[in-house]
Amino acid sequence: MSKLQIASLSFVLAFASIGNLQAQTKTFLEAKGSEKYQTNYDFDRWNFSVSKNRYEIRKDGKAKRTNIKNHATYFRIKLDKEESIERAVYFAQYKNDLLLICEVGMADAAAGFIARLDGKTLKTKWKRHISAFNIAHGLIENNSAYLAAFGFAAKINLAKGNFLWKHENFYRKYKESGAFNIFETINIKGNIVTFTENQDNYNRPPNIIKFNKISGKVIEVKVN
């Protein structure tokens, strides 16, 4: 094989590797809320589509999947006592299963959960609590997902549903008046995962916290 052929093959392999790397990262999408109180995100139900199937999820956890032949399958997302789904529902497909991230309300408190539902039966394989509100879009990389919420950051194993690392209650840890209220989409570069505060309601540079994506160790904090 000539040097030119070797160089061309190396370029093709490198390009393919970049493509595979990009394909391994996927952001959770946000379902569309509908019905009353839309101005303050207090929806009655959410709708989205995955692989030609249409889904509807109600705030009481009752849900429906409708396939391309218009056949409906009814299922239920188990909620704790007095819980109801509020404000946001994010979804993604993982190995033909359905992943859901939902924000829930109960009395005067708010939190959330991430759950994996079997792609055929829609039974819950696992469900894990997120101890914060203002839940942001999650980010999937390979067999893990990164989660963000009010003073909360975590990495979860999507196969078994166990947290690989988790940081909670750091809203006032780095600034007395508070920081990291609500996050933008999470970003990964090498072994660093970056959580950037959403700037829609602020007139200043964004607050940023970075973690080692393997260990979960805090690498850098920028608070304005």
10-residue mean pLDDT series, the chain (224 residues): 47 39 78 72 89 96 97 95 90 97 85 97 97 95 97 97 97 92 93 92 87 98 94
User: What integer pLDDT is reported at residue 102 of this predicted model?
Assistant: 96
User: What integer pLDDT is reported at residue 5 of this predicted model?
Assistant: 47
User: What integer pLDDT is reported at residue 10 of this predicted model?
Assistant: 43
92 vs 48: CA distance, rounded Å: 10
Q: 171-204 burial, b for 16+ CB within 10 Å, e for fewer?
A: bebbeeeebbbbbbebeeeeeebbbbbbeeeeee
- Which amino acid does the sequence have at 4? L
Task: For the beta carbon of residue 31, count every other beta carbon within 10 angstroms.
Answer: 21
Three-class DSSP category at 31: coil
For 85, counting Cβ atoms within 10 Å of its Cβ (0-12 exposed, 13-18 middle, 19+ buried), the class is buried
Q: How far is CA 99 from CA 24, 91, 120, 123, in A?
A: 16, 6, 13, 12
User: What integer pLDDT is reported at residue 18 of this predicted model?
Assistant: 41
Which tokens is 140 given?
């999937």
User: What integer pLDDT is reported at residue 143 of this predicted model?
Assistant: 97
- Which amino acid does the sequence have at 214? I
CATH code of the region 135-224: 2.40.10.480
User: What integer pLDDT is reported at residue 7 of this predicted model?
Assistant: 44
Break the chain into its structural domains and give their ranges.
135-224
Three-class DSSP category at 40: helix
Backbone angles phi, psi at 13, to 5 degrees: -65, -40
Is the CB of residue 77 less than 8 Å from the CB of residue 115?
Answer: yes
113 vs 110: CA distance, rounded Å: 11
User: What integer pLDDT is reported at residue 16 of this predicted model?
Assistant: 38
Q: What pTM was estimated for this model as a whole?
A: 0.85
User: What integer pLDDT is reported at residue 200 of this predicted model?
Assistant: 77
